[in-house]
Chains A and B, each alone.
Chain A
């Protein structure tokens, strides 16, 4: 007898329908699974056998063939355990699958018959709904995550026994009702700006970076609080919208990062500098999303930027430009979202103490130059602000009251973002950092004073040419933060201070 159960597969974040066909024939007891299945699926026959036995059901003694259609797409993961088990039960006449019309089933089985959570449920549900599926039977632990898709009835399944009872009509299905989506507001004690003492300049620069969607590079000696600053950044980003949350959740669902239901906080990811290119950008044999996609709509923090492998950093350029990363491998080409804010930090020199008042640094200009040249120009030109962070003095750490809270900084950031959104309506961009081409003349016009100041800065301070547009963008954001429609000389002047790496003392000839 032949039984068919519909399930789902994933390539990148795109889902496709998988038909699980099970045929039971007389013959020597034997199970064969075909249809480009990976090892996790091949092993599922053992899990399925035990699960069926331990659920007070009979495992048929006959020749069983399982086919996963379409046969030309590679399938992976243990999520077909439950559909295969149902197929075997139906094929051996123990169960009718009438209740599965217009439904999909997925879930991993444990040996005792319980259904375990699987990865990638959310993107599969999005695809299923698009194909007109009405009901989805998913592992109970994945229920919350799947339920955010409107128009899809999500039935959580705790065990094989329960699933069978549902299909036999011995139990009634109860769909998951999702919690209304709400951004989680409490950044937690380790990530609120109010707990960062001193560092007013750096905080201000970070606020500007967030307001204009700029990437930022923090340069400072060890212990200057670079990591602390970076960790607090998600708390002043505008709240996550539902659409954004859904996008991040898809990535997190596929990489197995998801803890409960949906991502409610802007992600903060800080890969170690030994991270491989595949880990950071995405890829590997299964074309998995990389850390940069996990940081989507949040912050990607690269600590010790100069320690990263050069080709890894170079690979960041395209996603930084497009907000999307294309992972191309032999068996698939996959796009993942990669719309993140890059926050990088590094020491000013190999020993870390260049410019520190302790005078510990004994690095030569040549060493510093070599150290800095690990970061390529094209990457640096995607980073609008670079600032130097000095080590806080003891007095500052001990005496000062709490700083301004993240919530209050965020209100200013949101106002500035709103100004930008209104100004760029119809331009297809959202923030100042996305300005390009002719938009500069249109939106970043300077008055005479401002122009003069910028010109003078270039001749006097020897700023590099690539700094020009960056300074304009940042000045635009500073004006937005202050609620000014025109960029004044003061805004330009401030923006100039945030181009630290363009200064000649960095690995050039001394003063």
Chain B
């Protein structure tokens, strides 16, 4: 039996039932090849084999080669492939979770994933400092050959995936709706880049609109794909909390980003840390935990000495920004320079690609 065929059977089973292994457990427990099941579907007493009543009809009706092939061809024309649970491309760790999806709809290529996988999640409305931290962490992980898994949601998810791409790594976005539905819409460019350099996956058939109830289910796939889950920011009642709980159930390792100050909007990391979850200080926290070595000290932008060609004031200002984001006003005060001079220096640094302007008259080091 070719794997092509096999995939078709899995697709049949997934698309006619709830889609998870757990949902079809009784059926899969039968001493019967999937192929045989498929051929006999119309004759067998499926209900006696443990199939739920509502799935019997679809299973019978859809047990037809030409129909399934036509559907798969339709997906292929839109650049969407099916990866079945027994396929090599299917993420190994995901296969082990209780409610593993029987098939994944994929845009891009899951073979691009490396063995080192880290899932990163957070809130859709993050604080700016956390966006920077998350992006930086993902970038450095990617440089060490880690594939970052996230949900491409607004906020920290997107920040993590952008960071991974900047670090030259692959990244997987697990979507709640169909893989052909770009949500949120402002992430179109990110979406396209992930198709090019990583993979977009979903258990929902193509065309599925991103409905709220899909996301908590989607989260179990994000945590299920990697051994490590990094929680950036979130509320104890948020989706991130659901993901963290699922990760625990799946016996994954959880890491939390250290919150800068107490913030009722962002109490998930602190409550996780309280319960014994390790704090991510930097990329090495994760690398060491898995024996992936440590990141070499790179001649990074952080070390001002390695940035050459700066005049005195540029260097002084840049060093100030290394300590954190600052407003023009604050820079004027620390450097004792008039507004015009500071503006000039900021523009020069900005044009050199070293710093970036942020909303609210803030400037920060470019990540």
Closest residue of B by beta carbon distance from A359:
B127
266-299 of chain B: CB within 8 A of chain A:
none
Bound Cα distance A355, B360 (Å): 4
Please tell me if the beta carbons of A362 and B362 are within 8 angstroms of each other in the complex. no
Closest residue of A by beta carbon distance from B159:
A510
A187 at interface by CB-CB < 8 Å? no
B356 at interface by CB-CB < 8 Å? yes
Bound Cα distance A365, B154 (Å): 9
Closest residue of B by beta carbon distance from A455:
B351
B329 at interface by CB-CB < 8 Å? yes
What DSSP secondary structure best describes chain B's contact surface? Answer: helix
Using Cβ atoms and an 8 Å threshold, which residues of chain A touch B351?
A: 453, 456-457, 460-461
Please tell me if the beta carbons of A505 and B344 are within 8 angstroms of each other in the complex. no
Using Cβ atoms and an 8 Å threshold, which residues of chain B touch A221?
A: 360
Using Cβ atoms and an 8 Å threshold, which residues of chain B touch A199?
A: 329
A464 at interface by CB-CB < 8 Å? no
473-511 of chain A: CB within 8 A of chain B:
478, 482, 490, 493-494, 496-498, 500, 503, 505-506, 509-511
Please tell me if the beta carbons of A359 and B128 are within 8 angstroms of each other in the complex. yes
Bound Cα distance A362, B263 (Å): 14
Bound Cα distance A201, B348 (Å): 17
A268 at interface by CB-CB < 8 Å? no
Please tell me if the beta carbons of A509 and B358 are within 8 angstroms of each other in the complex. no
Please tell me if the beta carbons of B347 and A494 are within 8 angstroms of each other in the complex. yes
CB B366 to nearest CB in A, in angstroms, measures: 9
Using Cβ atoms and an 8 Å threshold, which residues of chain B touch A461?
A: 350-351, 357
Using Cβ atoms and an 8 Å threshold, which residues of chain A touch B357?
A: 461, 503, 505
Bound Cα distance A31, B124 (Å): 78
Please tell me if the beta carbons of A390 and B340 are within 8 angstroms of each other in the complex. no
Using Cβ atoms and an 8 Å threshold, which residues of chain A touch B328?
A: 201, 497
Bound Cα distance A478, B356 (Å): 23
Closest residue of B by beta carbon distance from A369:
B186
A15 at interface by CB-CB < 8 Å? no
A212 at interface by CB-CB < 8 Å? no
Please tell me if the beta carbons of A388 and B359 are within 8 angstroms of each other in the complex. yes
Of the candidates B159, B339, B353, the one whose C-beta lies within 8 Å of that of A460 is B353
Bound Cα distance A482, B327 (Å): 24
Using Cβ atoms and an 8 Å threshold, which residues of chain B touch A357?
A: 360, 362
Please tell me if the beta carbons of B344 and A366 are within 8 angstroms of each other in the complex. no
Using Cβ atoms and an 8 Å threshold, which residues of chain A touch B187?
A: 509
Using Cβ atoms and an 8 Å threshold, which residues of chain A touch B358?
A: 355, 505
Closest residue of B by beta carbon distance from A360:
B265
Of the candidates B185, B339, B353, the one whose C-beta lies within 8 Å of that of A204 is B339
Closest residue of B by beta carbon distance from A348:
B359
B231 at interface by CB-CB < 8 Å? no
Of the candidates B350, B353, B356, the one whose C-beta lies within 8 Å of that of A511 is B356
448-475 of chain A: CB within 8 A of chain B:
453, 456-457, 460-461
Of the candidates A348, A396, A509, the one whose C-beta lies within 8 Å of that of B189 is A509
B125 at interface by CB-CB < 8 Å? yes
Using Cβ atoms and an 8 Å threshold, which residues of chain B touch A390?
A: 327, 329, 360-362
Bound Cα distance A494, B347 (Å): 7
Instruction: Type the 1/0 row for A351-383, where 1 means its CB is closer than 8 Å to any CB of B.
Output: 000111101001011100000000000000000
B225 at interface by CB-CB < 8 Å? no
Bound Cα distance A364, B126 (Å): 11
A389 at interface by CB-CB < 8 Å? yes
Closest residue of A by beta carbon distance from B325:
A357
CB A132 to nearest CB in B, in angstroms, measures: 55
Instruction: Type the 1/0 row for A116-158, where 1 means its CB is closer than 8 Å to any CB of B.
Output: 0000000000000000000000000000000000000000000
Bound Cα distance A396, B187 (Å): 40
Bound Cα distance A282, B353 (Å): 49
Of the candidates A348, A478, A490, A498, the one whose C-beta lies within 8 Å of that of B360 is A348
Using Cβ atoms and an 8 Å threshold, which residues of chain B touch A396?
A: 329
Using Cβ atoms and an 8 Å threshold, which residues of chain B touch A38?
A: none
- Known contacts: A456-B351, A497-B346. The answer to whether A201 contacts B154 by CB under 8 A is no
Bound Cα distance A482, B359 (Å): 29
Interface residues contributed by chain B, number (CB under 8 Å): 41
B304 at interface by CB-CB < 8 Å? no
Please tell me if the beta carbons of A478 and B359 are within 8 angstroms of each other in the complex. no
B158 at interface by CB-CB < 8 Å? yes
Using Cβ atoms and an 8 Å threshold, which residues of chain B touch A500?
A: 361
Q: Size band of the A side of the interface? A: 35 or more
- Known contacts: A359-B128, A362-B125, A388-B361. The answer to whether A457 contacts B347 by CB under 8 A is yes
Please tell me if the beta carbons of A497 and B359 are within 8 angstroms of each other in the complex. no
Please tell me if the beta carbons of B189 and A355 are within 8 angstroms of each other in the complex. no
Using Cβ atoms and an 8 Å threshold, which residues of chain A touch B347?
A: 453, 457, 493-494, 496-497
B317 at interface by CB-CB < 8 Å? no
A198 at interface by CB-CB < 8 Å? yes
Bound Cα distance A416, B340 (Å): 16
Bound Cα distance A200, B342 (Å): 11
Closest residue of A by beta carbon distance from B190:
A509
Please tell me if the beta carbons of B362 and A201 are within 8 angstroms of each other in the complex. no
Bound Cα distance A511, B353 (Å): 13
B30 at interface by CB-CB < 8 Å? no
Bound Cα distance A399, B18 (Å): 66
Instruction: Type the 1/0 row for B329-350, where 1 means its CB is closer than 8 Å to any CB of A.
Output: 1001000001110111011101
Using Cβ atoms and an 8 Å threshold, which residues of chain A touch B360?
A: 220-221, 348, 354-357, 388, 390
CB A113 to nearest CB in B, in angstroms, measures: 62
The interface centre, meaning the residue of B127, B347, B367 with most chain A CB atoms within 10 A of its CB, is B347
Bound Cα distance A298, B353 (Å): 41
- Known contacts: A390-B327, A509-B187. The answer to whether A354 contacts B353 by CB under 8 A is no
Bound Cα distance A505, B363 (Å): 13
Bound Cα distance A92, B189 (Å): 89
Bound Cα distance A397, B185 (Å): 42
Using Cβ atoms and an 8 Å threshold, which residues of chain A touch B348?
A: 493
Bound Cα distance A205, B342 (Å): 13
Using Cβ atoms and an 8 Å threshold, which residues of chain A touch B361?
A: 201, 355, 387-390, 500
The interface centre, meaning the residue of A204, A478, A496, A511 with most chain B CB atoms within 10 A of its CB, is A511
Please tell me if the beta carbons of B350 and A460 are within 8 angstroms of each other in the complex. yes
Please tell me if the beta carbons of A366 and B350 are within 8 angstroms of each other in the complex. no
Using Cβ atoms and an 8 Å threshold, which residues of chain B touch A482?
A: 340
Please tell me if the beta carbons of A355 and B359 are within 8 angstroms of each other in the complex. yes
- Known contacts: A348-B360, A355-B360. The answer to whether A366 contacts B329 by CB under 8 A is no
- Known contacts: A201-B339, A461-B350. The answer to whether A490 contacts B359 by CB under 8 A is no
- Known contacts: A348-B360, A355-B361. The answer to whether A201 contacts B329 by CB under 8 A is yes
146-172 of chain B: CB within 8 A of chain A:
154, 158-159, 162
Bound Cα distance A221, B327 (Å): 14
180-219 of chain B: CB within 8 A of chain A:
184-190
Please tell me if the beta carbons of B362 and A355 are within 8 angstroms of each other in the complex. yes
CB B213 to nearest CB in A, in angstroms, measures: 21
Using Cβ atoms and an 8 Å threshold, which residues of chain A touch B188?
A: 509
Closest residue of A by beta carbon distance from B362:
A355
Bound Cα distance A500, B347 (Å): 12
Closest residue of B by beta carbon distance from A452:
B351
Using Cβ atoms and an 8 Å threshold, which residues of chain A touch B184?
A: 364, 366
Using Cβ atoms and an 8 Å threshold, which residues of chain B touch A220?
A: 360
Of the candidates A201, A205, A453, A478, the one whose C-beta lies within 8 Å of that of B332 is A201
Bound Cα distance A200, B332 (Å): 8
A-B contact pairs, 18 of them (CB 8 A): A198-B329, A199-B329, A201-B328, A201-B329, A201-B332, A355-B128, A355-B360, A355-B362, A357-B362, A388-B359, A396-B329, A456-B351, A457-B347, A482-B340, A490-B340, A497-B343, A497-B347, A500-B361
Given contacts A199-B329, A204-B339, A490-B340, 18 further A-B contacts (CB under 8 A): A348-B359, A355-B362, A359-B127, A359-B128, A365-B186, A388-B359, A390-B362, A396-B329, A456-B351, A460-B350, A461-B357, A493-B348, A494-B344, A494-B347, A509-B186, A509-B189, A509-B190, A511-B356
Top 6 closest pairs, chain A to chain B, by CB: A355-B360, A355-B359, A493-B347, A204-B339, A388-B361, A497-B343
